[in-house]
Amino acid sequence: MPVARLLLRTSTINKMVSRNAFTSSKPDHSKPNMLRVGLAFGSTAFLWGLLVKQHSTDVREYKIRNGLE
Q: Which H or E run includes 49?
A: helix 34-65
Q: What is the pLDDT of residue 7?
A: 60
Rg, Å, the chain Cα set: 29
Q: What is the pLDDT of residue 63?
A: 96
Quick one: average pLDDT of 49-53?
98
Residue ranges covered by each domain of the chain: 45-69
Angstrom distance (rounded) from CA 9 to CA 16 = 11
Angstrom distance (rounded) from CA 9 to CA 11 = 6
Q: What is the pLDDT of residue 22?
A: 75
pTM over 0.75: no
Angstrom distance (rounded) from CA 32 to CA 68 = 50
Coil, helix or strand at residue 69: coil
Per-residue model confidence as pLDDT tens digits over 4-49? 666 666 555 555 556 667 777 887 889 889 999 999 999 999 999 9
Q: What is the pLDDT of residue 29?
A: 83
